[in-house]
Structure 1
Amino acid sequence: MRWMIVVVLAGLSCFPLSGSAQTRIGFVNAERVTRESAPAVRAFKRLEREFEKRQTELRKLETGLQSVQSQLERNSVSLSEADRRTREREFLDLSREFQRKDRAFREDYAQRQNEELIGIQDLANRVISQIAERERYDLILQEAVYANPEIDITEKVLKALAEVK
C-alpha cells in the first residue's frame, strides 16, 4: 500500500497540477502539531485542571490502601482469626473500590483527551487548508515515511495556530 502512495506521488511530481509548471507539495508533522501547538498545550492544561481533583482523590485512596495493607501484614500474627479475616475483607473492598475508581478515571480521561484531540485536529486542518490556499500548495501530506525538510511547513502551522484564540 505504501509503495503505491510513493508511486502516485512520484507521478504527481512529473505532471503539472492546476496549470502550474511545478507541483507544490508540503508536509506537516501532525504529531508535533497535536503535541506542541498552542491549542494543544491549552487543551492539555485544561484536562489537567479538570481531572486534578479526581486524581488527588485516587492518590489518597491508594495511600490509604497501602497503609491498610502494611498494617495487615504487620499485625496479622497478633490478630485473632476473625479480626484478620475482617481486615482482609476491608482491604479487598477498598482495593476493589480503588480499582473501580481508577478504571473510571482512566476511561473518562481518555474520552476527554480524544475529544480535545479531535478539536485540535479539526482546527489544525482548517489552518493547514488556509496556508495551502494562500501559498498555492497542490498537496499537503500529514503522514510520510520521509519528508524533505525543505517541504516541511509544520513551523508555519504552529505559528498560525499560536495566533488562534
Structure 2
Amino acid sequence: MNYLLRRSFASILFGGLLVSAQMQAQAQEFRIGFVSTDRIFKEASTAKSAQLKLEQEFSKREKEIIDLGAALKTLADTFDREAPTLSAGQRTTRQKQLVEQDRDFQRKRREFQEDLNARKNEELQQVIERANKVVKQVAEAEKYDLILQDAVYVNPRLDITDKVLKVLNSNGVK
C-alpha cells in the first residue's frame, strides 16, 4: 500500500509539473503592454499643437472676460465708496446696473468656459484617435496580445508609452 501512495503522489506531482510548465509557456507567449494616456496628452506633439491651437483661438475672448471682470470690480468698488453719499434712488439705480453687468459677465464667462471645454474635447478626441492608431500599429508590429490604458499599477517593463510617443511624434500614423 505504501508503494501505491508513493506512485500516486509521484503521478500527481509529475502532472502538476507538466501543467505548470505548460502555463509558463503560454504566459511567455502572451504579451501585455501599457500606454499612459496622461503622458500622451502631455508629451505628444499632436497634443501640444492642439493646446497651442486652443490658446490662440481663445486667448482674445479670455482677455476680454478678464478685462470685463476687472472693470466690474472697479465699478463695484466705486459704488461701495460712493454709496453713503448717494440718494436712495441713485443707489438703487446703480445697484441694478451692477447686478445686470454682473449677470452679463457671469453669462459671458460661462459661455466662454462651455465653448472652451467643447473645443478642448474635440481636440483631445483627435489626439486620442491618432494615439489609438499608433497603439494598434505598435501592438501589431511587436505582436502584443493586449494593451491597457488605465490601471492601478503597472510594472514599468510593460509600459510602451515611449514607443507610442516616438511614433506619434514622428507622424508615423498610417
Shorter-chain TM range is 0.7 to 0.9
Calculate percent identity across the aligned residue pairs: 43
CA distance in 1, matches of 2:42, 2:139: 21
Matched, 1:41 2:51: no
Indicate whether 1:92 and 2:102 are aligned. no
Q: Structure 1: where are the runs of 5+ without partners?
A: 1-12
**Greater helix share, 1 or 2?**
2
1:35 to partner: Cα distance: 2.3
Aligned residues: CA RMSD: 1.6
Shift of 1:15: 7.1
In the TM superposition, residue 137 of structure 1 has moved relative to its aligned partner by 1.0
The aligned residue for residue 107 of structure 1 is 114
Work out the CA distance in 1 between the residues paired with 2:79 and 2:71. Answer: 12
Q: Equivalents in 1 of 2:47, 2:25: separation in Å? A: 37
| Residue 146 in structure 1 maps to residue 153 in structure 2 | yes
Paired residue type of 2:156: P
For the pair 1:16 / 2:40, whether they are aligned, the reply is: no
Q: How many residues align?
A: 150
Give the letter for the 2:66 counterpart: R
Q: Deviations over 1:84-136 (max 9, x none)?
A: 11111111111000000000001111111111111110000000011111111
Q: In the aligned structure 1, how far is the partner of 2:168 from the partner of 2:37?
A: 13
Which structure is larger by alpha-carbon Rg, 1 or 2? Answer: 2
Alpha-carbon distance in structure 2 between the residues aligned to 1:78 and 1:43: 53
Q: Deviations over 1:13-51 (max 9, x none)?
A: 85739xxx5211111011211222111111011001100
Q: Deviations over 1:56-93 (max 9, x none)?
A: 11011101110010000000011111111111111111
Query: Are the structure 2 counterparts of residues 76 and 137 from structure 1 closer, same or farther at C-alpha, using a change threshold of 3 Å?
Result: same
Provide the C-alpha distance between the structure 1 equivalents of 2:158 and 2:52, rounded to a whole number of angstroms: 31
Q: Secondary structure at the match of 1:16?
A: helix
**Structure 2 residue ranges without an equivalent (≥5):** 1-22
Measure, in 1, the Cα distance between the counterparts of 2:84 and 2:165.
62
Aligned equivalents of 1:49 and 1:16: distance in 2? Answer: 52
Inter-partner Cα distance in structure 2 for 1:14 and 1:147: 20
CA distance in 2 between partners of 1:98 and 1:16 (Å)? 63
Q: In 2, distance between residues paired with 1:49 and 1:15?
A: 54
Q: Specify whether residues 118 and 58 from structure 1 end up closer, same or farther in structure 2 by C-alpha distance, changes over 3 A only.
A: same
TM-score, normalised by the number of residues in structure 1: 0.86
